[in-house]
Structure 1
Amino acid sequence: MTYEKLSAASKELSRWLDEDALPLWRERGFQGEAGGFSETVTLGGQPTDAHRRARVHPRQVYCFAEAGVRGWTGDWQTPVQAGLAFFDRVYRLDSGFYGALANKDGQLLDTSFDLYNQAFAILSFVYTARVSPGRQAEMAARTSAMLASLKAGYAHPEAGFEEDNPARLPLCSNPHMHLFEASLACEAAEGFDATAWTAFSDEIAALCMRRFIDGENGGLREFFNHDWSPFDGEKGRIMEPGHQFEWAWLLARWGERRGNAEALAKARRLFEIGETHGICATRKVAVMTLLDDFSVADPLARLWPQTEWIKSAARLAVLSQGLERERYVQSALAACAALSLFLDTPLPGLWRDKMKGDGSFIEEAAPASSFYHILCAIYELEDCLAALDSASGVAV
């Protein structure tokens, strides 16, 4: 029965994506090559004039490219090609890296380097290559050039990357997580340098298991000193439930590809921490922040951790059997219910981003950056349910 309920929840999320969200964000959240993607759209459906973070554009390119791969019948081609053109024209620097912030008129306001933004540039390149065979060689070359430039300019002496040159502290696990995600996509992409990207995926996985994950309690930290020890003070104690789930999903995928039992065990532990300590007992949603004793430091619930809860639960269900699989399926169903709270808006296809401790939402425009999380979760759930079906007919 639980599996049937999860399947029904997946079908409704997929319907919402195809019929509500993708059409709305194509029509209201994209202004073509001249304007790129809006940072936010009001709950009434109007794009705002808010300054646009660099990360929004490659994330939206990814969304529409992946929608195209999955068979969405709307116009996904224009946002992919024109969106990437806008991103290149406005944010790309002479160094080959991307700046951080522009206004709605396409004026670059902040040229500072952020490792996080470069990770999403790579992700957009690999997904553009998937839907544009004629640009495959170009995108493969651009991803390789980006990786080489990152290593030349920002490589950490041990592994991973510094945040600036000279190094700016604290160092962060989060951009490495998104580089890991992009690298896993590149290593599997036709025409890309599989050897280099596989080695890089292995480097980040090892760094995560050796440094980011606490050796005693198994939780993943966010902030570090230059030697990858936990950053000083309370900041170094932060463990976000959403990132326990997101790293669990990535390590599970990497561990499955490599046959690495340690990675799978650590993924399960990360998930356990997120589910046991990061889900509010009354609101039934994943909260924002824990400390390393697993006490809640910030009870605010944002949309994106709910999507990572779905992805990790669904992927771990595929990698499990029997009662363990049933537990992950039940958790995925609970995560779908949590996400649905944020998607319940007067105009279908939008979302709310922040739920307060009393269960009410902060009234604000919907951030475009959340679409990447939502769409990825919906497609990952579809894929995992299909894998469960094909594996055994799934009696759970």
Structure 2
Amino acid sequence: MPVENFEELRARAGKWLSIDALPLWLDRGYDEKLGLFHEKLDFSGRPLEALPRRLMVQCRQLYVLAHLSLRGMRDSRALIDRTWEQVLQRFYRKDLPHRWAFSIGADGEVHDSKCDSYTLAFLLFALAWLYRLKPDPSYLALADEIFAVLEGPLAASKGGVIDALPRPDEFLRQNPTMHLLEACLALYESAGRPQDLSRARVLHANFSAHMLWRAHAALPEQHDDTWNAESITDSWYEPGHHFEWVWLLRRFSMLSGVKVDDDVRILLSRAEREGIDTDGFAIERVDILNGARMDSRRSWGTCEYLKACAAEAEATPANAKVWQDKAAGALSALHGGFLSVELPGLWRDRIDEGGQTLSIDVPASSLYHFVFALMECERVFGRILRSSTNSGLDKTPALFLDRDGVINIDTHYPSKPEDITFVDGAGDVIQLAQSLGYKVVVVSNQSGIARGYASEAQVLSLHRWMAARLQERGAHVDAWYHCPFHDEAKSVSYQYKDHFDRKPNPGMILRAALDLNIDLGRSLLIGDNESDVLAASNAGVRGHLFKGANLHEFAQPLVEKV
């Protein structure tokens, strides 16, 4: 499968998500009668209404809505509140010994009352994102109640969790424990509670000491009650889960400072060699001892490989280009193998090694994987970030700066270093802002990409050059964001009417706030166009119009006033 231009692949994936997938799943994928999401759609987009609704699916969809609301793609707060109210009403049952039902029927009554650790991990994950969107203490109180179950009756004797109560069999599986670690990290990032990072440390230690089978460079899917896989006759690993753990370990390391390089190397060594086929897809599974492969592909596995590529590019900047090329292969596989369906916004969830469809419907649960992977791809590859930037857990104010006409003289779509002349005082005001505790973030409409004056790769390269020149003057920009979309784009990948990132829309500002933990209420923006000021206002930031001359003289009283 040929690999297309990486930046255009990213742009096309973002368009698919915002124009096709999200509207479809918020419309046909939502059950107005129950106030919950449908479990599946068929390939014509009709909901399979008779299916039970799993709590896990509702939690994944709540994560999607919360993340994309924070990102600025679509404000879904009202739908989130309505859905969460129904989740509490229908799944949270005080007559159940552990409170939360696994699923409800189409009539709204409990269908399966088992207490499931995988489900509860996703419930914690959803609560983390709901809290990030709206810091309501009730979310954390519920989280603590759920932890009491996971660390009590669902706790495995040697660490991690059992699958469910009643217990389905004698095995321990890595999957629920993996998602519990994911939830602990999300809660720590959202609320900053030390106990959640402590939980993550314990889960990571158990993974590293017991779950990872180093002798065979594999993470078995099934273990006995002591997390020993050697006694399991049929022992296999899923490459997608190796890649998912790579992302998790890198995130854990970023938050905790614990070194994970050796375990990441082990996970990647076998999964990349055996688990990625020649077309860039992650295959389903590999037998650990004899290497026999199940060559069918699931969409989630390739999504997780894309996340792993982004995580490795972020963790090892010297190898970022290598990982970007691998990410391009994964994106191309997603487009060609899974998203090529008649009704845009749906996907083929499982295909065989020849690319033929194996799935008979479209599960809502996979949207979580697509959103997570595409947002990570955008976060890492779609901006220029100062390598030493650490967003931390305490919110900080930011000075947002437009680019052309504010940092550099506007010479009509500058795209090369020789086009750049810095505005007088630009470096000085960046130094001043950072000395006062601001992050400095560039947010720039770059319709020249859409109009064909420059490639997105050229603009990213120019931003690296500008960042380096400013840094030589002691002016450190924390991050550079740009919007390449325009309704008159020459390339269909960048053709988008009123893109949520294009100022006066606030998308770039909201994206930076999410990425860098910025306090928008204490931030300000300086631009040279009314659309800049409107974007600031739409994001809850104070905006100021710069009309030229010396930027430091203009901005000094503004940044010192806060």
**C-alpha separation between the residues in 1 aligned to 2:282 and 2:24?**
27
What residue is the counterpart of 2:117 in the other structure?
115
Deviation string, structure 1 residues 245-283 (Cα, Å, up to 9, x no partner): 00111011112322322x1221233123222111223x4
Deviation at 1:294, TM superposition (A): 6.6
Pairwise mapping of residues 318-329 of structure 1 onto structure 2 (< 5 A)? Answer: 318-322=314-318, 324-329=319-324
* Structure 2 spans left out of the alignment, 5+ residues: 389-459, 465-562
**1:284 paired to 2:280:** yes
**Alpha-carbon contact 2:224-2:232 (below 8 Å) kept:** no
Pairwise mapping of residues 289-368 of structure 1 onto structure 2 (< 5 A)? Answer: 289-293=285-289, 295-322=291-318, 324-340=319-335, 341-362=337-358, 364-368=360-364
Compared CA separation, residues 231 and 58, structure 1 to 2 (3 A)? farther
**Alpha-carbon contact 1:33-1:82 (below 8 Å) kept:** no
Compared CA separation, residues 268 and 100, structure 1 to 2 (3 A)? same
**C-alpha separation between the residues in 2 aligned to 1:211 and 1:138?**
35
What residue is the counterpart of 1:77 in the other structure?
77
What residue is the counterpart of 2:18 in the other structure?
18
TM-score by length of 1: 0.91
Deviation at 1:4, TM superposition (A): 9.7
Deviation at 1:87, TM superposition (A): 2.2
TM-score by length of 2: 0.65
**C-alpha separation between the residues in 1 aligned to 2:121 and 2:72?**
26
**Alpha-carbon contact 2:223-2:232 (below 8 Å) kept:** no
Aligned-CA RMSD value: 2.3
Structure with the larger helix share: 1
Across the two proteins, how many residue pairs are aligned to each other?
385
Compared CA separation, residues 387 and 179, structure 1 to 2 (3 A)? farther
Deviation at 1:24, TM superposition (A): 0.8
**C-alpha separation between the residues in 1 aligned to 2:245 and 2:371?**
18
**C-alpha separation between the residues in 2 aligned to 1:274 and 1:285?**
12
Compared CA separation, residues 294 and 265, structure 1 to 2 (3 A)? farther
Aligned letter for 1:304? W
The alignment-based identity, stated in percent, is 27
* Structure 1 spans left out of the alignment, 5+ residues: none
**Alpha-carbon contact 1:33-1:86 (below 8 Å) kept:** no
Structure with the larger strand share: 2
What residue is the counterpart of 1:127 in the other structure?
129
Deviation string, structure 1 residues 151-201 (Cα, Å, up to 9, x no partner): 1222223322223457642011101111111100111213x6x12101100
Compared CA separation, residues 344 and 166, structure 1 to 2 (3 A)? closer
**1:58 paired to 2:59:** yes
**Alpha-carbon contact 1:33-1:85 (below 8 Å) kept:** no
**Alpha-carbon contact 2:115-2:165 (below 8 Å) kept:** no
**C-alpha separation between the residues in 2 aligned to 1:166 and 1:80?**
31
- SS for the counterpart of 2:293 is strand
- Which stretch of the first structure deviates more once superposed, 217-226 or 371-380? 217-226
What residue is the counterpart of 1:372 in the other structure?
368
**Alpha-carbon contact 1:279-1:285 (below 8 Å) kept:** yes
**Alpha-carbon contact 2:21-2:344 (below 8 Å) kept:** yes
**C-alpha separation between the residues in 1 aligned to 2:290 and 2:69?**
40
Pairwise mapping of residues 146-295 of structure 1 onto structure 2 (< 5 A)? Answer: 146-164=146-164, 168-190=169-191, 194-230=193-229, 232-235=231-234, 237-261=235-259, 263-281=260-278, 283-293=279-289, 295=291
- SS for the counterpart of 1:55 is helix
**C-alpha separation between the residues in 1 aligned to 2:154 and 2:316?**
38
**Alpha-carbon contact 2:128-2:187 (below 8 Å) kept:** yes
What residue is the counterpart of 2:402 in the other structure?
none
- SS for the counterpart of 1:280 is coil
**C-alpha separation between the residues in 2 aligned to 1:187 and 1:276?**
34
- Which stretch of the first structure deviates more once superposed, 116-125 or 164-173? 164-173
Aligned letter for 2:331? C
Compared CA separation, residues 333 and 169, structure 1 to 2 (3 A)? same
